[in-house]
Amino acid sequence: MKKIVFIVLLVNIYCVGQLQAQLFGGQIKSSAFYPPGTCNPRFRTAVVEVTSLTGRIWMDRNLGAERVATSPTDELAYGDLYQWGRWADGHQCRNSGTRSTLSSIDRPPHDDFIVVPATSATDDWRNPQNNAMWGINRSSGGVNNPCPTGFRIPTEDELRDERRSWVSIGGSTSTGAFNSVLKLPLSGYREQTGEVLAIAQGSLYGFIWGQDVAGSDAPSDARALAYFSGNAFENNYNRARGYAVRCIKF
């Protein structure tokens, strides 16, 4: 009887290992999942580390993703869509409610996506704007860092370095993004009006927020990495938009 139980335990351990190999693209660093409050309580985001060609350590999936992407259009790998600078308060859920009242504080007391009209002077969910909510210059992450302990939002330079490292694995396009160890999917975005979209300018797109705000040419915007079938680049975008978040280790 004891022998049978032992064999069953071995089979169970093997099955768990196979499941982890399927779901996790790197080394599991914690048995916890993140964030504790999440859009899908059944599938929270595992904290798993991978090392990219740049030598930097990243989480192996977007925040809110169930697993590492198995294809560029793997919906289970898309993750949540954060407005720039906001905490993981529930607004990032793709089906979260919306409201049109701007916030005057860093953490609004609700979980709605704050919609901003196209006529807005700043295209930001916060008034007045705060440039440091996600940290500055590789700091510890800022007051609203949505990443797990030990991780933060990447800088524009870090995103650029990753993009440039894709030259030998598909080029500076969505192909290189997916072929990289980060397995970046075409996760779409949420327009500042609240609409969740997959296509921008006629193509499937992926966006990853950086912690940097834009320069003097567009001071009310923030920087993000954009990638699609034909190109990939860093650019200025409205802070009220919802983009995916991929965390990098301090």
Q: Each residue of 171-221: pLDDT tens digit?
A: 999 999 999 999 999 999 999 999 999 999 889 999 999 999 998 889 999
What's the pLDDT at 217? 87
Bond before 128 cis per omega within 30 degrees: yes
Instruction: Round to whole Å and give the CA distance between 24 and 95.
Output: 25
Per-residue pLDDT tens digits for 66-120? 899 999 999 999 999 999 999 999 999 999 999 999 999 999 999 999 999 988 9
State whether residue 24 is helix, strand or coil: coil
CB atoms within 10 A of CB 194: 18
Write down the pLDDT at residue 136: 84
180 touches 205 (CB < 8 A): no
Q: How many CA atoms lie within 13 A of 97 on its CB side?
A: 6
Query: How far is 197 from 155, CA to CA, in rounded Å?
Result: 25
Query: Strands across the sheet with 248-249, in order?
Result: 27-34, 45-51, 57-59, 248-249, 151-152
Report the SS3 class of residue 189.
strand
Domain definitions of the chain by residue range: 2-249
Please, which pLDDT band fits residue 141 given cuts at 50, 70 and 90?
confident
Determine the 3-state secondary structure of 116 from DSSP: coil
Mean pLDDT of the chain: 87
- Give the mean model confidence (pLDDT) for residues 24-52: 67
The reported pTM is 0.88
Distance CA 84, CA 133 (A): 9
Alpha-carbon torsion angle 195, 196, 198, 200, nearest 10: 40
Q: Residue 38's pLDDT is what?
A: 65
- pLDDT, tens digit (0-9, with 9 covering 90-100), for 158-179: 999 999 999 999 999 999 999 9
